[in-house]
Structure 1
Amino acid sequence: MNKKHDLIGKKIAILATDGFEESELLVPKKAVEDAGAEVTVVSLEKGSITAASKDGEGASVKVDKVVNDVTSANFNGLILPGGLQNPDTLRTHANAIDFVRSFFRDGKPVAAICHAPWLLAEAGVLDGRTVTSYPSIRTDLENAGAKWVDQEVHCDEALVTSRSPDDLDAFCSKAIEEFAEGIHEEQTV
């Protein structure tokens, strides 16, 4: 592995709940673990969370920490997987939104894919930012002050965004690069 993208000693949080897009959680989780990071799955409750699936229930993932018990100070970066239900549920929980917002306040990298930028809109961190996402939430992100672009991955300072599972290779690569670089100047919250 290229030393520039070595994540040994880094701690990365994945914030998710039931209804996450399976590949958008599992693929980035494996990628950052393979790069040497310690990954913590953070959710609303103890136990496990289940992916959305066209055939019923998808993969189940163990929750390592409850969002009420952690802060961005515990981590070097944050991954936000998409899916429809996952970010829609999370954006209605103040503690989840405060957790997301704290990464921006602390200048730590955040990687959000598909519908996950809904959380960024709710956290009020998109004004003046350029992002991409699943096309159906474009208007929501623009209404939150973002400039939307149709790209497989876009990085605006320490904010990495992608459109869909088709973009996972580019998303993971850029997220790992940002996590390796670490803290940026304090971002606007």
Structure 2
Amino acid sequence: MKKILLLLANGFESYEASVFTDVFGWNLYEGDRSTELVSVGLHPVLACTWGYSCIPMRQLKEIDINEFDALAIPGGFEEADFYEDAFSEEFLTVIRQFDQQDKPIAAICVAGLSIAKSGVLNGRTGTTYHFENNPRQKQMREMGVQVKSDERIVEDQNIITSSSPETALDVVFRLLEKLTSKENTIEVKRRMGFTC
């Protein structure tokens, strides 16, 4: 069984987290049943964007990171205090540990800024939220990343970053394929109603 750590910062966007839980849930029941997703936070209760609350399955201090095979991080909103957790040393240390072990890391939208802030993308390629007059890609460049502004999703070795919430399902399916197989991913998509 391959374990995915869904790392949740306070202020995360619920849609971006739900695609991970749904796709890996479908794989557990309708796919090859080889994956398990565990939501982990820095607090017992997390505030999501848009007024939701979330109770993660585990607290970061309770887990052994070495038991996990991949890391998934949804983005969030500054107005919901996302960057307080997402830029904290505890959060960034998790990212560094996964990268040091060359394990897959998938970040949606502004979660790519956490990856950049950790230093693991220094000199490498990536992307983050891209919208006119928005400063996020500039911030990522200032953190030493070669930003690919014209790409929705960027893969650099073990790290997947993306440019908006719209990319979320594609990011998750890429991660599922890395952890299982192309054939299994196609079957999960088919069972979920996507045409392949």
Scaled by the length of structure 2, the TM-score of the pair is 0.78
Q: Does 1:13 align with 2:5?
A: yes
Gap change, CA 1:145 and 1:71, over 3 Å in 2: farther
Which of 52, 55, 60 lines up with 1:67 in the alignment? 60
Alpha-carbon distance between aligned partners in 1 of 2:103 and 2:87, rounded to the nearest angstrom = 23
2:47 aligned partner: 50
Q: Does 1:123 align with 2:115?
A: no
The offset of 1:92, in angstroms, is: 4.0
Greater than 4 Å deviation, 4+ residue runs? none
Deviations 1:77-120 (A, max 9, x none): 01110012464022342222111110001110000011111211
Residues 11, 77 of structure 2: 8 Å contact kept: yes
Residues 14, 42 of structure 1: 8 Å contact kept: yes
Gap change, CA 1:117 and 1:87, over 3 Å in 2: farther
Q: Percent identity?
A: 26
Identify the structure with the greater helix proportion: 2
The offset of 1:73, in angstroms, is: 0.4
AA partner of residue 123 (structure 1): S
| SS of match in other structure, 1:28 | helix
What CA RMSD, in Å, does the superposition of the two structures yield over aligned residues? 1.7
Q: Name structure 2 gaps, 5 residues minimum.
A: 29-34, 182-196
Residues 9, 41 of structure 2: 8 Å contact kept: yes
Q: Does 1:34 align with 2:26?
A: yes
AA partner of residue 155 (structure 1): E
| 1:1-189 matched pairs, under 5 angstroms | 9-36=1-28, 37-46=35-44, 48-53=45-50, 57-58=51-52, 60-85=53-78, 87-135=82-130, 136-149=135-148, 150-180=150-180
- Mark the structure with the bigger radius of gyration: 2
The offset of 1:21, in angstroms, is: 0.8
Q: Name structure 1 gaps, 5 residues minimum.
A: 1-8, 182-189
| SS of match in other structure, 2:48 | strand
| SS of match in other structure, 2:180 | helix
Residues 7, 40 of structure 2: 8 Å contact kept: yes
Residues 3, 70 of structure 2: 8 Å contact kept: yes
AA partner of residue 171 (structure 1): V
